[in-house]
Structure 1
Amino acid sequence: MSRKFFIPGIVFLFLAFVLSFFTSISAPTIHSLDIVRIDTNNADRVIVAPEDAAKSTHLGIWGFCVYDFNDDAHCENVGHGYQYTLTNFDRSSRTTIGASWTRGLAIHPVAAAVTFVAFCLSFSSHLTVLLAASITSFLAAFLTFLAFIIDIVLYAYVHHKVKDVSDIDVDVNTAPGFWLTFVALLFTLFAGCTVCFGRRKVADPSSSYPMMSNPTGFFSRFRKN
């Protein structure tokens, strides 16, 4: 049977897996693939995180990286569910992002793994396997959606908590890993729909064999039955 109905789904799943995979590695392994970023606007009103004056702080899935004003990165790979404390320059005010707010980020590699399983299943032309591929694609989309919601919650919480520290001038922004997760979510949704559509095409015999029609020309009226 023709594979043209499955090729878009395979491509979408591959792209979603690649994006989810790199996001799952994240900071501190890949410094630029963080989820939330805290940038200092004023060198005289910096944050200290945790010990050095920070020009920028990158919060990833497994830890964080602090960039000083020489653009040197100091990273801490603390693993699943880390906490992050920042203070003002004279250490008179501080706040902590608790481990309970970063622990949920571990769903990113789970979503990547399920996306990879869906990608492998999508190569089959067997109806049962295609059904499993479609279900797994939507499961991957659901897990990626949960990961994206957790990213949004973390961003909102960090944005709120930095206001507890006095005498600092910082911006809290979404980072590349945040948006890669959003794009991966769209790809997995598209993949689930296309794989499901392709399976229906395979299961429907009328899509492969055209209906026979009786001749209706003028001379057909004189043919014997």
Structure 2
Amino acid sequence: MSRAFCIPGILFLLCAFVLNFLVSISLPYLTALDIARTHFGDGAIQQTNVQGIAEIRFGIWAPCYYNTNDDRTCLRTGHGYSVEIANTRQTEAITVKSSWTRGLAVHPVAAAATFVALLLSFSTHVTVTLLASLVSFLAALITLIAFAIDIALYALVRHEMKKLEIGANTNTAPGFWMTLVALVLLLLAGCTVCFGRRRDRLSGATTTSTHTKPSFLDRFRRTKA
């Protein structure tokens, strides 16, 4: 494949893999790469003896709680965790069930598919480059599913936190936007590989036709000889 298309495609896939990989690590290991986070204006109390919460962050593998002194407590609950929150007056309580966080495990699958596409993109063989393009689009589809799950979790958390009536403010987090950027990069990578392969086919066809088609004057030269 033409280097003008090969190098950008590899760079797109590399960046997408790094983003998907970092998001897949998430909480509690990378505390800044969560999917959604909620700030409490009045403070809240969590049902598992974590009191005075000022902020809660939702990661892929665990939630993390921050008190008013910015001290962090991350529960190592693993895949498919649930969160129970109640306000300080104990008048309202909400639960984010594990069914809403279990789907976040799609992120590592997207990272693995992106890595496979990245490895295939280093080949110059026509069949392998076509396969790299297909795997790139597959990784983009899986990343799209992961992003849809992130949107669903954010919408649920935002809706539920309002029930506490303590001025909770829910926002998207860095992991949310990194997934979106990875999705765009994967689409660009797949298109770049496709365009590069098409350009090679067209250039090859042009070269072949130029060398095989005789001109009108060549017929007379051959007869004269």
Distance 2:112 2:65 in 1: 29
AA in 2 matched with 1:198? G
Structure 1 residue 202, shift from structure 2 partner: 2.9
Contact 2:40 2:168 in 1 (8 A): yes
Q: Which residue matches 1:10? A: 10
Match of 1:203 among 201, 207, 223: 201
2:161 is the alignment partner of 1:186: no
| Partner secondary structure for residue 4 of structure 2 | coil
Contact 1:95 1:162 in 2 (8 A): yes
Structure 1 residue 48, shift from structure 2 partner: 1.6
Contact 1:67 1:74 in 2 (8 A): yes
> Which runs of 4 or more aligned residues in structure 1 lie more than 4 Å from their structure 2 counterparts after TM superposition?
207-210, 212-215
Q: How do 1:121-160 and structure 2 match up within 5 A?
A: 121-160=120-159
AA in 2 matched with 1:101? W
Distance 1:15 1:210, change over 3 A: farther
Q: Any idea what the Cα deviations from partners look like across 1:114-146, whole Å, max 9, x if unmatched?
A: 000000000001111111101000000000011
Distance 1:96 1:126, change over 3 A: same
2:177 is the alignment partner of 1:171: no
Structure 1 residue 102, shift from structure 2 partner: 0.5
Structure 1 residue 214, shift from structure 2 partner: 8.8
Contact 1:201 1:207 in 2 (8 A): no
AA in 1 matched with 2:44? I
Q: Any idea what the Cα deviations from partners look like across 1:45-79, whole Å, max 9, x if unmatched?
A: 21223422111111000001101111110001211
Once structures 1 and 2 are overlaid, which stretch shifts more, 94-103 or 192-201? 192-201
Distance 1:3 1:81 in 2: 44
Q: Any idea what the Cα deviations from partners look like across 1:84-108, whole Å, max 9, x if unmatched?
A: 1111012232110000000110000
Structure 1 residue 209, shift from structure 2 partner: 6.6
Structure 1 residue 207, shift from structure 2 partner: 6.0
Q: Which residue matches 1:47? A: 44
The CA RMSD measured in Å over matched residues stands at 2.1
Identity %: 49
Distance 1:187 1:29, change over 3 A: same
The structure that is helix-richer by fraction is: 2
| Partner secondary structure for residue 104 of structure 2 | helix
Distance 2:193 2:59 in 1: 32
Distance 1:180 1:90 in 2: 37
**What's the TM-score once normalised by structure 1's chain length?**
0.89
Structure 1 residue 4, shift from structure 2 partner: 2.2
Alignment gaps of 5+ in structure 1: none
Instruction: Provide the aligned length of Structure 1 versus Structure 2.
Output: 216
Structure 1 residue 208, shift from structure 2 partner: 6.0
